[in-house]
Structure 1
Amino acid sequence: MRSNGQTCVGRTWLRALLVGVLAIGLASCASTNVVKLPESASHAFSQPFSQARDLARGQDTLPAEQKTDNARNIERLLAGLDDATLSADAAALPAGDPLYPFAGQALIRRGLPLPRPFDRGAWRFDAGNRPPAERDGYRPPVKLAVLLPLSGGLAAAAAPVRDGFLTGYFGETRRRPDVAFYDTAGTPGGAVAAYQKAVAEGNDFVVGPLGRDEVGAVFRDAQTTVPMLALNRANVPPPAGNASFSLSPEDDGIAAAEFLIDQNARRVLVINGVDDGLRRASGALRDALAERGGMVVESLDMGGDPITLLTRLQAAVQKAGQVDAVFLATRASEARTVAPLLASAGLAGKLRVSTSQLIAGTGKPADDIALDGIVYPTEPWTVRGVSGLPGAASVASRLKTARGPAARLFAFGHDAWLITAYLEKLALDPNGNVDGATGTLRLDAAGNVLHTPTWSTFRGGMPVPLADATAR
């Protein structure tokens, strides 16, 4: 690890990290399951697929304000296809067809294999004269810059990301890159200037920045001559040849929608908490359900005393008609209020799904028993452990940055290292994936890293893996 005169790994916390965490051997590796379906000029595409193909051909010619609606129409058409038809139609598309990125995305969301890789023409993996990939796909950079807000208001969030990253880094026994950390909060000019400094100092890959606005600024204003893995999603897509990884509220909403569809719960009533992030999650759920043939039948905002809330909930249920499931976009304190009211509103026995934020503010079984049966996404590492990484409880006993809510960011930082080391495999193998601390990691056509979480619920006021409990 080198010093760059900007900000470097501090000796105190680095020593604590090295002493606190045992050496870790990253056993995670990319797996391949390529399905080769016949591609034939005589293949008869299904009608919805043909309609989606016509829309995709005009996508790039549309004004910016129309592209989003057109893309959603394509996704809705593909969502109506069964798995076998979608797989066969996607495999029959010729190379370079503009529908393939959409079809591939639909396959990934369903956990289905891709017939061939996405077009990655703008991706570069030989910068810095990297040695060839190992047999499992391990091929890290030669010189690596990590952009994090190590000072200022976001420093508390950056610390567990940093420590999780370094836990994975120091746990790898094979060749590792030379790493330098750059403080985006302490650099005049912010994340854009930090990125430019990292490039000027010869790094061949950049991880970060972390803040949503920081990522947007780098995507818009920096000429990304060196590829990067941004640690958040911005309102603009990653430039070609770059990737984005996040634990955004939208990801929770999309994961919940997929879970509900898998449970054949297509008519969903949504209860929104007051937090903006939770509303973003319910918005993503709404869009994802619509793409898969489901719908939000009614939406209700939290507020008022329990009697008033029950009255409003009963009215919402009556207006909604058939309800298959309830999506609680709430924190634990709000869920404890509304969960006991669901039976009185006529929703007894309905599937209840929440976001990862449900766990915030829990820890007292006597109070949390009100959450029993609510299903929520979480990280495999904190629930059942991940091969090659010490258990969450063991790490938490040694590092403050892996305790409580920070554990999720610690897992996120660990997976940022894992993605960096296996990015070529994720990008070029049509079905390459990595089993990370936050879930199974894959890369979509646009360069977004997708993570499939594990699911937990509460039983007797205690969080338990869903496989060990019955959801109801």
Structure 2
Amino acid sequence: MIARLLSVLCLVGFLAACSGTPTSTLGELPRTPQASVEQLLQKAEQSPPALAAQLRLAAADKAFTLNNPARAGQILQQVSLDQLSPAEQVLASTLQAELALLRNRPQSALQALEHPSLQRLGELPAEQQVRTRLVRAQALEADNQLLPAVRERVSIAPQLTGAAAQDNHEIIWALIARLPTDEATSPADGELGAWLALGVAVRDAITLELQQAAIDNWRNANPDHPAALRLPEPLSKLRALPSQPLSKIALLLPQEGQLASVARALRDGFMSAHYQAQQAGFNPPEIVLYDSTQIESLEAFYRQAQADGAQLVVGPLEKPLVKQLGDLPQLPILTLALNYDDAGEGSPAQLFQFGLAAEDEARSAARRAWNDGMRRAVALVPRGEWGDRVLAAFNQSWQAEGGTLLDAKHIDQPVQLAGQIADLFQLRQSEARAQRLKQTLGVELAAEPARRADVDFIFLAATPLQAQQIKPTLTFQYAGDVPVYATSHLYSGDSNPAQYRDLSGIRFCETPWLLDENNPLREQVIQQWPQAGGSLGRLYAMGIDAYLLAPRLAQLKALPETRIDGYSGRLSLNSQQRIERELPWAEFQGGTIRRLPDYNL
């Protein structure tokens, strides 16, 4: 009885505060009463419109703090912002943004935070300012606006204390580490500019030793910066890693046979990165070339490499040799193989694997489509083992994102392609329905077949020739307006516009090497090897990235969150010690290629 009386008294006190005349046009934020959500809603039913809106807002906010967002959303829908003071409008907009984020709708969250009342956020208590600005930062990050999210968090940092300040500090660095190069090098002053300079310094250093030196140099130049006073945890771990400079690398590649041309491109890319490091004033390791087609056995090769003083092996390229390495219990020298052994587990701890895996591109397509708001997919992939692997990788990543794969077809001969696409979009069912209706009515119907309407996009893995057949067939089969997300295999690297005119609208992932034509190293390599500007350029890029990875393998293993901006993609290491690539995206437009803004790479 006493508890009930106290609850009523608290509610009355709260109502009195709400009904009092505010001291300014800003108004007051609802105070947190002891009354329950239901008590607040019950009183709202008996109150005039303005007070009812305040009570419902308080009830919605209380439901949210009690971890009942569904209830909070239902109540907030009944609140008219026009009935609220500016302070209450700020709270309502903030709550609306928080609920939108929980529904994975960052753009709706940002739209909610554009309400005119937010212009007066600085007049509100610090607690409300922090709440609103943190949700804005979270929404910007979720919307892949990484640099604005960094700017928001750097700006709010002085208002935070304790665990919230520490979390914000770590998130700032995590966001900076993910920034695309053009944003990371954006001009900025003050604390933000120093944060960005730290990110660039660590990113541009090509060895662990140079990264550690870059951190120390930055701290000496910015002694009072928050990141200098307390290094973000990943940088603290980076500085603590033991430094073991490489002095000699064994490059093991075939110089004869079917893979010789592939190996030449990889070798030339690898060595071009080596020469660039020399020209930049670094002291790169010595490179010793070995012909994998001439070795008697892997055991004999490793004995020779050890005798020659090699600390790291880059190669082999041949899949059977990589499989042999994967079957060994351990290796005498740390090794970066340039292919994959197809085994999921059990490889020796000294073995790392790197290649231009189509599965990476399939996973990249899933992430890109999801970030673009797609939710339901169909797929077209080549018939055979390669197509099966690509489809499996896409589907696994797509389902992990939360998407649905409605159907998939394996591309057959061109004569069968139209039928396959018709089946994919259920056009034959539409035609059959029209035929049944014609028979029922006994009259001719001028109805076009209708494709299924639940498909958001098509995932496509195809050669340039297949893609040139598929896009017009989609148009013929009433599906020309369905977005297409493709792997790089449909792009030959040729600059002939006529070759890609039929591909307009298709989005595809591609290596930075082929998309960033103004890169100085790319220009230098193409001058010497013109073929590096075409599809073979992917192999040159892989060779360069193998050189970038060589001194960083221990770091990637010790700090799994590490990302390296390479020429074949943004590189990371998974739990099986395989390098994965996240690729940038482009779109065909009238025979030309337009680079798309980067998402969360």
Normalised to the residue count of structure 1, the TM-score between the two structures is 0.66
Q: Give the letter aligned to residue 135 of structure 1.
A: A
Q: Secondary structure at the match of 1:210?
A: coil
Alignment check: 8 A CA contact 1:379 1:454 kept:
yes
The match for 1:285 is 394
Unaligned runs of 5+ in 1: 1-79, 88-106, 113-129
The match for 2:529 is 399
Q: 1:391 to 1:227 in 2, by over 3 A?
A: closer
Structure 1 segments of 4 or more deviating over 4 A? 80-84, 130-134, 136-140
Which residue of the other structure, out of 174, 177, 183, is the alignment partner of 2:282?
Answer: 174
Alignment check: 8 A CA contact 1:169 1:417 kept:
yes
Are residues 1:377 and 2:482 paired?
no
Equivalent runs, 1:275-424 vs 2, <5 Å: 276-305=385-414, 308-318=416-426, 322-360=454-492, 362-384=494-516, 390=520, 392-400=522-530, 402-424=532-554
Q: Secondary structure at the match of 1:342?
A: helix
Equivalent runs, 1:119-198 vs 2, <5 Å: 134-136=212-214, 140-172=245-277, 173-189=281-297, 191=298, 193-198=300-305
Which residue of the other structure, out of 561, 573, 578, is the alignment partner of 1:448?
Answer: 578
Give me the identity figure in percent: 27
Offset of residue 274 of structure 1: 4.5
Q: Give the letter aligned to residue 208 of structure 1.
A: G
Unaligned runs of 5+ in 2: 1-101, 107-137, 143-173, 180-207, 215-237, 430-451
Offset of residue 242 of structure 1: 3.2
Q: Secondary structure at the match of 1:280?
A: helix
The match for 1:40 is none
Offset of residue 304 of structure 1: 4.0
Q: Give the letter aligned to residue 356 of structure 2.
A: L
Equivalent runs, 1:248-267 vs 2, <5 Å: 248-267=357-376
| Higher helix content, 1 or 2 | 2
Q: Which moved more, 1:314-323 or 1:130-139?
A: 130-139
Tell me the distance in 2 between the aligned counterparts of 1:200 and 1:160. Answer: 28
Aligned length: 349
The match for 2:555 is 425
Tell me the distance in 1 between the aligned counterparts of 2:420 and 2:545. Answer: 42
Alignment check: 8 A CA contact 2:513 2:537 kept:
no
Q: Give the letter aligned to residue 243 of structure 1.
A: F
Tell me the distance in 2 between the aligned counterparts of 1:467 and 1:348. Answer: 24
Tell me the distance in 1 between the aligned counterparts of 2:210 and 2:534. Answer: 39
Alignment check: 8 A CA contact 1:401 1:410 kept:
no
Offset of residue 247 of structure 1: 0.9
Q: 1:322 to 1:330 in 2, by over 3 A?
A: same
Q: 1:197 to 1:450 in 2, by over 3 A?
A: same
Deviations 1:341-382 (A, max 9, x none): 213334232220111111138543223100111111111122
The match for 1:466 is 596
Tell me the distance in 1 between the aligned counterparts of 2:421 and 2:287. Answer: 53
The match for 1:221 is 328
Q: Which moved more, 1:343-352 or 1:410-419?
A: 343-352
Deviations 1:9-39 (A, max 9, x none): xxxxxxxxxxxxxxxxxxxxxxxxxxxxxxx
Tell me the distance in 1 between the aligned counterparts of 2:500 and 2:306. Answer: 49
The match for 1:246 is 355
Alignment check: 8 A CA contact 1:140 1:176 kept:
no
The match for 1:7 is none
The match for 2:567 is 437
Alignment check: 8 A CA contact 1:147 1:194 kept:
no
The match for 1:19 is none
Q: 1:370 to 1:195 in 2, by over 3 A?
A: farther
Deviations 1:392-414 (A, max 9, x none): 35522321452421100000000
Offset of residue 185 of structure 1: 1.4
Structure number with larger C-alpha Rg: 2
The match for 1:206 is 313
Q: Secondary structure at the match of 2:296?
A: coil
Q: Secondary structure at the match of 1:235?
A: coil
Tell me the distance in 2 between the aligned counterparts of 1:175 and 1:412. Answer: 22
Tell me the distance in 2 between the aligned counterparts of 1:81 and 1:210. Answer: 46
Tell me the distance in 2 between the aligned counterparts of 1:433 and 1:406. Answer: 24
Deviations 1:316-365 (A, max 9, x none): 21287621111111111001111012133342322201111111385432
